[in-house]
């Protein structure tokens, strides 16, 4: 939803800038901080009211700054729907964290997937991300 830890990690801007310079496509998709269900999500996770929207807004600002360094190689979007999973992809590897209601994201299980065949779980998660991406809107400050 917020990818707050990635946004604050001091190594991420360097990694993304190097990836952009190598011709990689970078897509960052976060929950819209204005999503109507955000208060309920935060409450379910045990957060103080407004904390989740604040973390997402801070993440968007950090990723926006990284986007300036990465140029057209990096796109930043927000979606307005209940969260389902966090997906980080690097070529044929995925780090997937399913959204588990009533747990903070950092407490949810994380899976590492490697693409081994067509049509498997790897492709299902990438199709899921693509569907969410295509329904999202570009983030502009």
Q: Give the C-alpha separation, 60 to 54, whole Å.
A: 10
Q: Give the C-alpha separation, 45 to 38, whole Å.
A: 11
In this structure, what are the phi and psi dihedrals at residue 96, rounded to the nearest 5 degrees?
-120, 130
DSSP 47: P
Count CB neighbours of 41 within 10 A. Answer: 18
In this structure, what are the phi and psi dihedrals at residue 33, rounded to the nearest 5 degrees?
-65, -15
Which domains are present in the chain? 4-138 (3.30.870)
DSSP 82: -
From the list 86, 95, 92, 90, the residue with the least C-alpha distance to 128 is 86
What does the pLDDT profile of the chain (141 residues) look like in tens digits?
889 889 999 999 999 999 999 999 999 999 999 999 999 999 988 889 999 999 999 999 999 999 999 999 999 999 999 999 999 999 999 999 999 888 877 788 999 999 998 889 999 999 999 999 999 999 987
Angstrom distances, CA of residue 58 to CA of 5, 70, 93: 11, 19, 27
């Amino acid at each position: 939803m917020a990818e707050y830890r990635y946004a604050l990690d001091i190594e991420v801007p360097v990694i993304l800038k190097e990836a952009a310079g190598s011709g990689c496509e970078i897509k960052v998709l976060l929950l819209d901080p204005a999503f109507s269900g955000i208060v309920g999500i935060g409450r379910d996770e045990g957060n103080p009211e407004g904390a989740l929207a604040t973390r997402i807004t801070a993440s968007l600002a950090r990723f926006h700054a990284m986007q300036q360094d990465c140029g057209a190689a990096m796109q930043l979007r927000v979606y307005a729907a209940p969260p389902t999973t966090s997906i980080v992809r690097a070529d044929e590897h995925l780090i997937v964290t399913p959204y588990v209601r009533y747990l903070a994201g950092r407490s949810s299980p994380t899976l590492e997937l490697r693409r081994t065949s067509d049509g498997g779980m790897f492709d299902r998660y990438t199709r899921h991300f693509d569907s969410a991406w295509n329904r999202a809107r570009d983030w502009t400050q």
